[in-house]
Amino acid sequence: MIDAGEKIKFPGGGTHFHHGADKYISSIANMLNFKDNIINNEGMLRTVLDVGCGVASFGGYLLSSNVIAMSLAPNDVHQNQIQFALERGIPAYLGVLGTKRLPYPSRSFELAHCSRCRIDWLQRDGILMLELDRLLRPGGYFAYSSPEAYAQDEEDRRIWKEMSSLAERMCWKIAEKKNQTVIWVKPLNNDCYRSRPRGTNPPLCKSGDDPDSVWGVTMEACITPYPEQMHRDGGSGLAPWPARLTTPPPRLADLYVTADAFEKDTEMWQQRVDNYWNLLRPKVKPESIRNIMDMKANFGSFAAALKEKDVWVMNAVSHDGPNTLKIIYDRGLIGSTHDWCEAFSTYPRTYDLLHAWTVFTDLEKRGCSAEDLLLEMDRILRPTGFIIVRDKAPIIVFIKKYLNALHWEAVTVVDGESSPESEENEMILIIRKKLWLPEGGSQDST
């Protein structure tokens, strides 16, 4: 990070990427023998978890290769670096590998990455490495760049020996080890797990454990085996990117959703998003929208409809509804489980556009405060940012009462397009947050 007067520059170097993050990423692709040293592996590597990401240069430089990273760091160790990442327009989430599962379903990422992330992977019987194992897809990679992987002092050698032993017992194999980086690969099926000697630790998770249940669920020091169908297939069965975005993924069957229903949902949201953009276009300045949140993402079709835009979408899925977040990740998108009765784990003023499809109706059914949600939306929305509310007419009337108090303005209100998925009397309210100063009241932000 370089202070350049009124601006801060991120050259992509830092404590580890001495030759730049782009060259570091190419070196990882080279270690894995990917074609032309391109990290996306011809579309087969799409989603990445970057743990302890700093200002997210790794995730930022992945974007040009059509790879999207969930860059994760806590605010206690890395201070406000996640805020820097989001200011740069890089997907990022304020979180920590601690005692609870991360808010992502099992088998969501092709690659996990840690570069000097200052995490003790051996603590509590290796529970944090086992959480990465839960999140990695069959054949997924863990790229670890840290002194323990190459230093020769006694303490680093001890840590490396114990990490190697743990990885071996988890059935991870070293794909390559070079200079400062080691890359482990996760098995494609359950054969290795089943052939381990009886009593080997870590054990397999109990058969009743749901690896996709994550909201407030405590981590367990156990290995999540693959479902029988995935074991037989020897992989996740996903199409390469970009076909992955619109191809019905195998895990639709877990939700008893047909491929036809999935395709109709994709088509419906493409039409809706096209309509949104027509309504927004007169008010949106070029390149002013980058960070978007879909507050009720369902299958991620809202985000999929934005594929031609230079934006990224944080897809939020309710913790108590159908677990569609795994479908979102299987489409090559990213997101998080969330409960809108609580605050979202991000800094203030980090998103340019919020999309709330029947979120207030759902909140009303649960008895949570709609006023609190409006304040939370105001907190995370940037000045001059937009909100698209799609909900029942009484909800729209309710929200409009608070516009002046929140220093918001209604851009337009229209009837929603009718469809089987629509609520009765569904309407669309588009709001813009004003740029205002407490001393002088509201300030014109046009």
72-128 per-position pLDDT tens digit: 988 754 467 889 899 999 999 999 899 999 999 999 999 999 998 889 999 999 999
Question: Beta 381-392 vs 426-433: how paired, if at all?
Answer: antiparallel
Q: Using 50, 70 and 90 to split pLDDT, how confident is the model at 421?
A: low
Model confidence band, residue 444 (pLDDT cutoffs 50, 70, 90): low
Cα gap 343→339, rounded to integer Å: 8
Q: For 258-280, give the DSSP string.
A: -HHHHHHHHHHHHHHHHHHHHHH
Kindly report, residue by residue over 25-72, the tens digit of the pLDDT.
Answer: 999 999 999 999 999 999 999 999 999 888 889 999 999 999 999 999
For the domain made up of 243-443, give the CATH fold.
Rossmann fold (3.40.50)
Q: How would you classify the pairing of strands 291-294 and 312-318?
A: parallel
Establish whether domains 2-233 and 243-443 are of one fold: yes
Distance CA 136, CA 131 (A): 9
Whose structure tokens read 């988890």? 170
Indicate the average pLDDT of the chain: 92
Report pLDDT digits (tens) over 137-162.
999 999 999 877 777 788 888 999 99
Token pair listed for 177: 């080890």
For residue 441, the model assigns a pLDDT of 53
**Phi (first) and psi of residue 316, to 5 degrees:** -95, 135
pLDDT at 78 (0 to 100): 47
Gap between the Cα atoms of 431 and 381, Å rounded? 11
Rounded distance between C-alpha atoms, residue 363 and residue 357, angstroms:
11
Instruction: Summarize pLDDT for 253-263 with one digit per residue, the tens.
Output: 999 999 999 99
Domain parsing of the chain, residue ranges = 2-233, 243-443
Instruction: Give domain 2-233's CATH superfamily.
Output: Vaccinia Virus protein VP39 (3.40.50.150)
Residues 345-375 have pLDDT tens digits of 999 999 999 999 999 999 999 999 999 999 9
Contact between 187 and 204 under an 8 Å Cβ cutoff? The reply is: no
